[in-house]
Amino acid sequence: MALDRRTVLVSGSAALTAAVAGCNEVKKLLGGPDPEVVDVQSNQGFSGALSGEVTISVLVANEGGSGDVRVEVVLQDSNGNTLDRIEKIVEIQENEQRRVDFRVEPPRGAERFEATAEIA
């Protein structure tokens, strides 16, 4: 394949966009994963403070290509203030689901959590 000025400009422009934006959309367009949290479960209910060791299971679906996905759990107090963040980077194959388990000791005052997934 011969490289002409247009090919170089388009390739350079795509690389610059990805570098500057750090954008998941660009990575998806280039064939990367497209992760989405589809289920979150815990061995403790949502009523009152979280205490002791808590297991949080996050089910992530990947509708894109294979690749690394960052799964994050954020522990919050009753006002929605972030008390702690825990993340794992896992590889998920194309069109597959993967359960990611977090075992955490919640900080004092933690009453809820939320989970997110994005391209690593």
Residue 18 sits at φ, ψ, to 5 deg, of -65, -40
| pLDDT score for 107 | 92
Burial of 43 (0-12, 13-18, 19+ CB in 10 A): exposed
Rounded to whole angstroms, the Cα distance separating 54 from 60 reads 19
Averaged pLDDT for residues 14-29: 53
**The two three-digit tokens of residue 100, written as one number:** 């990611």
pLDDT at position 61 is 98
Lowest mean pLDDT across 19-23, 49-53, 77-81:
19-23
The encoded tokens of residue 46 equal 């949502």
In the block, which residue shows the tokens 């998941």?
Answer: 24
Average per-residue pLDDT for the chain: 82
Q: What pLDDT does 39 receive?
A: 97
- Tens digits of per-residue pLDDT, 34-71? 999 999 999 876 555 677 889 999 999 999 999 999 99
Using CB atoms within 10 A of its CB, is residue 119 exposed (0-12), middle (13-18) or buried (19+)?
buried
How sure is the predictor about 16, in pLDDT bands with cuts at 50, 70 and 90?
Answer: very low
